[in-house]
Amino acid sequence: MAETPVHIPVMLERTLELLAPALEREGAVLVDATLGLGGHAEAALERHAGLTLVGLDRDTDALARAGERLAAFGDRVHLVHTVYSGLRTALDGLGIESVSAVLFDLGVSSMQLDQAERGFAYAQDAPLDMRMDRTRSVTAASILAEYPEDELRRIFYAYGEEKLAPRYARRIVQARAEHPIERSSQLVDLIAQATPRAVQRAGHPAKRVFQALRIEVNGELEALEAALPAALDALALGGRIVVLAYQSLEDRIVKRELAARTRSTAPSGLPIELPEHRPEFALLVRGAELADDAERARNPRAVPVRLRAAERVREAA
């Protein structure tokens, strides 16, 4: 495997600060649901000597690299090859009923971005792959080859929030009738040709299309919608969750789920709130917290991050 630079994890100190009260408990278990290269996990294990880690990742390359990085922690570390929606199944397989903390660091990982051959970056020519889990068969190239025009339009709208979705979908269908679209440079050129000059000045025209394809290839939003409830349900009393999201679609899902879990379920008009109607969770930060200026300057990948966090304050009914 080619060497991949080790990157500073985004909002590392703030994440560990928020999780610390849960990780300091005897027998604490942390689920890193998006292990990546293991930066957050390594720091947590170093600071909390009694901590057990369950690391999940769909990317087998990431698991291998994180396994090497975390090998010194021995049997305190359990790595599982699964998308984060498989969190409950992974815990059941390890005989773990509840956990102390869960971390989600969403989106494409540093390693995946840095490996040009993975096809995630529109700025580098590579095969249009974009699979986080390379054991799966669907790629960005296969989507561009097989999806009808209306489906391409739908994913560009829904997952890229792209206003020019109809124009791009139509151009792709026209182009693929002449030759396969298999490399990122081909797709970038197609999009550039179909983009009005005035729009091009507003930013790279391929950014939102590449995001939409990546989300579709990996089923990211559907996985997140299943994973968040499972993660919250797995938290013991006093357990904490931190979620780092990098684009608005992910953040809306996180915001919606945490809002639902931090609201009272008491019917309106009830004179008092019964214990079983009290919220199960309390928010730990107001709204979405951003990286500070110093971290943004040091680590450009922290610029778009939105952090949300919550603590279980009542057992589930």
Residue 5 pLDDT > 50: no
> What pLDDT was estimated at residue 170?
97
- Residue that is written with structure tokens 């990996």 in the block: 218
Task: Give the per-residue pLDDT at 225.
Answer: 97
DSSP-derived secondary structure letter, 44: H
Question: What is each CA distance from 209 to 82, 201, 202, in whole angstroms?
Answer: 26, 16, 15
- pLDDT > 70: percent of the chain: 89
Checking if the pLDDT of 144 tops 50, the result is yes
Three-point CA angle 28, 31, 37, nearest 5°? 120
**What are the distances in angstroms from CA 187 to CA 25, 209, 292?**
51, 9, 35
The kind and range of the H/E element at 299 are none
* pLDDT for position 267: 66
pLDDT, one tens digit per residue, over 270-282 is 666 666 668 999 9
Residue 146 has pLDDT above 90, yes or no: yes
Average confidence (pLDDT) over 29-50: 97
Q: With CA atoms as reference, report the closest residue to 109 among 288, 301, 248.
A: 301
Q: What does pLDDT average to over the chain?
A: 91
Res 1 pLDDT > 60? no
Least-confidence region, from 118-127, 149-158, 219-228: 118-127
Of the candidate ranges 119-133, 186-200, 271-285, the one whose mean pLDDT is the lowest: 271-285
pLDDT of residue 178: 96
CA separation, residue 10 to residues 17, 226, 245, 284, 301 (Å): 13, 24, 11, 18, 7
